[in-house]
Amino acid sequence: MKKIIAVSLLSLVLTMTLASQAGAAIAVPETTIPTGFTTAQGFIDALRTLTDWLFVILVVIAVVFIVLAGLQFITGGGDPTAVSMARTKLIWAGVGIGVALLARGLPAAIQNLIGA
């Protein structure tokens, strides 16, 4: 019975998360892939579009791992192996969010570097 409840909660959370991210993915300003870069600003714009998509994908994956880690903490029942695996998932989800935030700041750093 616990597994059925856990799977139901997980599917509900994933559905809500993906539905909200689907709306956020539509708000990405540029959806076409540029064919060539003629200016530095064109390169920065393409990089910004790429990192926007990367940010959304990494955050969705990190949220899924956070939910899975939480469910594993709850269903682990105090088993040291399960708690350790859940803690590892939680740490890697944090690393994923950190990488997503770094990707979000990459276009500004490159723009400052090349002076576009």
Instruction: Write the burial class of residue 89 (CB in 10 Å: 0-12 exposed, 13-18 middle, 19+ buried).
Output: buried
Burial 100-115 (b: 16+ CB within 10 A, else e): beebbeebeebbeeee
Pick the closest to residue 103 from 37, 40, 70, 57 (CA basis).
57
Among all chains, which residue has been given the structure tokens 């740490």? 91
Give 105's pLDDT tier (boundaries 50, 70, 90): confident
pLDDT of residue 25: 47
Q: Model confidence over 59-104: pLDDT tens digits?
A: 899 999 999 999 998 898 888 898 999 999 999 999 989 988 888 8
Give me the residue spans of the domains in the chain: 2-25+39-114
Do residues 86 and 11 touch, judged by C-beta distance below 8 A? no
